[in-house]
Amino acid sequence: MISKLIDGNRRFVSDVFDRERDYFAELAKHQRPTVLWIGCSDSRVPVNTITQTKPGEIFVHRNVANIVATNDWNLSAVLEFSINHLKIPDIVICGHYGCGGIAALDETNDDDRYIPIWLNNAYKARERVDEKLTGLHFQITDEQRSNLIVEENVRLQLEHLLDYPFVKTAMRLGKLAVHGWVYDMSSGDIRVVQRNEIACRD
């Protein structure tokens, strides 16, 4: 498997890099990405492939269940750098149906030390969906419920973005827009679940 990656890199150099030398030479000097992508680490959601974008176009942060948490120094530094330094005008939080992190919200595994702590930032999405469902007079399937939690989690994480004062300020000044998307692995489609109207409420 590992040799497959090195072989792939050799093909990349000969088939892509060498043919677009000028593009990559320019990129080597500086980057000007226009989107910050916050997505799930899941191997089936590779951002450049599903959006058909090139190196240099998207600044990427991925973690389990595309979570935004202000006590996560990793994402916090990514946000600070991309908004205050790179001046990126758009942030996408992209979840995906069939997310293992979201499924884990319903599971208890005593052997896991870190996953439950990490998911503390997402349980609210499950609670909100289950609350809504108790008011309904019809049954939905487990898959439908899971899909709703995936979508709600994207909305919840967009809310968490606003806990960063510099994000809120950039949005207020009209310099930053945020977008909530979900990727459907069964069709390849991206669905918009939340547009920029997520208000900068005080």
Residue 135 burial (C-beta neighbours within 10 Å; 0-12, 13-18, 19+): exposed
CB of 101 to Zn ion, least distance (A): 5
Cα 61 from Cα 165, distance rounded (Å): 20
- 96 catalytic per annotation: yes
Cα 66 from Cα 183, distance rounded (Å): 12
Q: Which of 11, 19, 32, 44 is catalytic?
A: 44
Residue 99 interacts with Zn ion (CB under 5 A)?
yes
CB of 193 to Zn ion, least distance (A): 15
One-character DSSP codes across 84-130: IIS---EEEEEEETT-HHHHGGG---TT-SSHHHHHTTTHHHHHHHH
- Candidate segments 4-12, 95-103, 148-156, 194-202, binder of Zn ion by CB under 5 A: 95-103
Q: Which of 15, 21, 30, 42 is catalytic?
A: 42
How many binding residues for Zn ion (CB under 5 A)? 4
Residue 193 interacts with Zn ion (CB under 5 A)?
no
Cα 1 from Cα 77, distance rounded (Å): 32
Q: Which of 40, 61, 94, 160 is catalytic?
A: 40
SS3 54: coil
- 40 catalytic per annotation: yes
Q: Which string of x and - marks every residue 24-43 that binds Zn ion (by CB under 5 A)? A: ----------------x-x-
Residue 59 or 183 having the CB closest to Zn ion: 183
Q: Residue 194: phi, psi to the nearest 5?
A: -150, 125
Residues recognised as catalytic: 40, 42, 44, 96, 99
Q: List interacting residues with Zn ion (CB under 5 A).
A: 40, 42, 99, 101
